[in-house]
Amino acid sequence: MAQLSILRYPDPRLHTVAKPVAVVDDRIRRLADDMAEIMYAAEGVGLAATQVDVHERLIVMDTSEARDHLVVLINPQIIWRSDEMRVAEEGCLSVPQIYDKVERHASVKVQALGRDGETFEMHALDLAAVCVQHEMDHLLGKVFVEYLSALKRDRIRTKMIKKTRDEMRDA
């Protein structure tokens, strides 16, 4: 596995807008594999390249119960959103142990390139829809806590800074 680690909020690099992947090659496939390994090890359902300090439009996700259906989305674009909205509790590997409710579209259709470089479309519902929208926000430099009130955001920021400081002291 490559030496990638998950950036933690409020790291300013999480606010970097990702650039499109120019060519799907072995480097991108290795990155997707490494990201999937990190995501599974952290027990997450999705991970955007931005979260591992690689600012290219790449997402890996697996919302299956069996954790055996990895989806790789390269240069994803939402091409359709349902009018119906849903509120669901979200967490994030970049904001560990913090969960809160966020309103998102109940379903979306995404167009992306796969590992083979071929274009495909995916209709995402329920958890998959939440995951796609959440991870695509990362590619735009946005973290889910930015949907929360300023008071909640400030509390989370303070908590994360303290947690990081405590971990560094104990290391």
Write out the catalytic residue numbers.
135
Decide if 80 contacts 133 (C-beta within 8 A).
Answer: no
In 3D space, the residue among 139, 141, 45, 54 whose CA is nearest the CA of residue 93 turns out to be 45
What's at 158, amino acid-wise?
A: T
Lookup result for tokens 């950036």: 7
Q: Radius of gyration over alpha carbons of the chain, in Å?
A: 16
DSSP calls for 78-143: EEEE-S-EEEEEEEETTEEEEEEEEEEESEEEEEEE-TTS-EEEEEEEHHHHHHHHHHHHHHTT--
HSE-up of residue 85 (Cα within 13 Å, Cβ side) = 5
